[in-house]
Amino acid sequence: MQISFVSQKYDRVILLITIALALGGIFHLWTITASGEAYYLLHQIIWVGIGISVMFLLSFLRIGLWQKGAYLFYGIILFFLLLVLIEEEGIYGAQRWVRIGAFSFQPSEFAKLILIIVLGKLLTGKEKVSKKGIILSFCLTLIFLILVALQPDMGSALILFPLWLMMLFLAGISLRRMFTIIGLGSLLLPLSYFFLHPYQKMRILTFLNPGRDPLGAGWNILQSKVALGSGRLIGKGLGGAVHTQLSFLPRPFTDFIFATIGEEWGFIGVLLLLGLYFIIIARGMKLVRQESNDFAKLVGGGIIILLFLQVFINIGMVVGIMPVTGIPLPLISYGGSSTIMFFAGIGILLSLKRFGDR
């Protein structure tokens, strides 16, 4: 394993903002957590601590390591995704976690990062964006997508397809081929509706018209809008998220944590949060553009795209322009697998600055 402790600078802006987001998420979780819910706060502190350690460790690994082991890592995640499906009973009410002793994790979260790595290897190889390379990359993506959807974790599954498309774009696919793929996907997308679970179909119908069942399926999105808008310009202040604390808002620690930020910290707090995400994305793309190594370009770009997609989808879900899919807000939402995965991704991104093209 290629680990180097040479004296190379980090991109301190990305490093500090990443840590600041995670610590800010812990602080916000504390402000909206009732005294009997300290479980969530304590676990998130542990996960952020692990995530920061993973980030620093991976920042010392040269990018070539990921290129050499890409297919091995893919196989490992594939094994765990299959293992999830043969579990007799789901953990926490769903078959999305693998339990190893006292430790449990979601393979679907790490599948996103590993897919970026394996696509980076495939699309910089001999085939690159040839027909064969495109088909093979699609097959590798489709395998993950199907296995994740069967858990069921439709949110994580659906993010894999646009992630694949954007990786093809970064690899230099022609616009003609890109539009052809998007056109075929658009034609086939309606067919996927018939394979959804009843509650997933209801989410789509509720997204189109939340008022059709305001006390049932439409409750989540309607209450998230109320919480988000009630913060107005400066928010209700520290510990003042009454709508959240009175349990009107569902899943305030995970899917809808952005709405709780809007309620407590207002438009100014939301704007600050979005600004921090924007800085990471902008700085990350700057690092990627400076790379001459094609694999490093694709992996770094893929990590930034994944961050953008999850921020966009989560916030879009909260404000009602996207269906409820269960996509967490990166580094902010409660959850160990997602938190550690994004810290790992940022660690790989930081390694580009440390080692350059070496």
In angstroms, the CA 180 to CA 293 distance is 28
H-type alpha helices, the chain: 12-32, 38-59, 63-68, 70-85, 107-122, 131-149, 154-171, 175-188, 198-208, 219-230, 242-245, 257-290, 294-319, 336-355
* Residue 245, pLDDT above cutoff 80: no
Looking at residue 193, its pLDDT comes to 62
Residue 23 has pLDDT above 80, yes or no: yes
Which residue, among 348, 333, 246, has the nearest Cα to 28 in the 3D structure? 333
DSSP readout, 297-324? HHHHHHHHHHHHHHHHHHHHHHHTSS--
- So what's the pLDDT on residue 102? 67
pLDDT above 50 for 91: no
What digits encode the pLDDT tens for the residues 157-183?
889 999 999 999 998 888 888 888 888
Q: What is the pTM of this model?
A: 0.88
For position 140, what pLDDT does the model report?
A: 94
With a pLDDT cut of 70, the percent of the chain lying above it is: 81
Arithmetic mean of pLDDT over the chain: 83
pLDDT of 318 above 70: yes
Q: pLDDT band for 88, please (50, 70, 90 cuts).
A: very low
Span 305-316, mean pLDDT? 94
Band the pLDDT of 292: cuts 50, 70, 90: confident
44-60 residue pLDDT tens? 999 999 999 999 999 99
Phi-psi category of 86—alpha, beta or left, where left has phi over 0 and alpha has psi -120 to 50? Answer: alpha
Which amino acid appears at position 286 of this protein?
Answer: K
100 and 92 Cβ atoms separated by less than 8 Å: no
Report the pLDDT value the prediction gives residue 36, as an integer from 0 to 100. 54
pLDDT at 259 over 60: yes
Q: Which of 129-133, 165-169, 254-258, 286-290 has the lowest mean pLDDT?
A: 129-133
Report whether pLDDT(99) > 80.
Answer: no
Length of the chain: 358
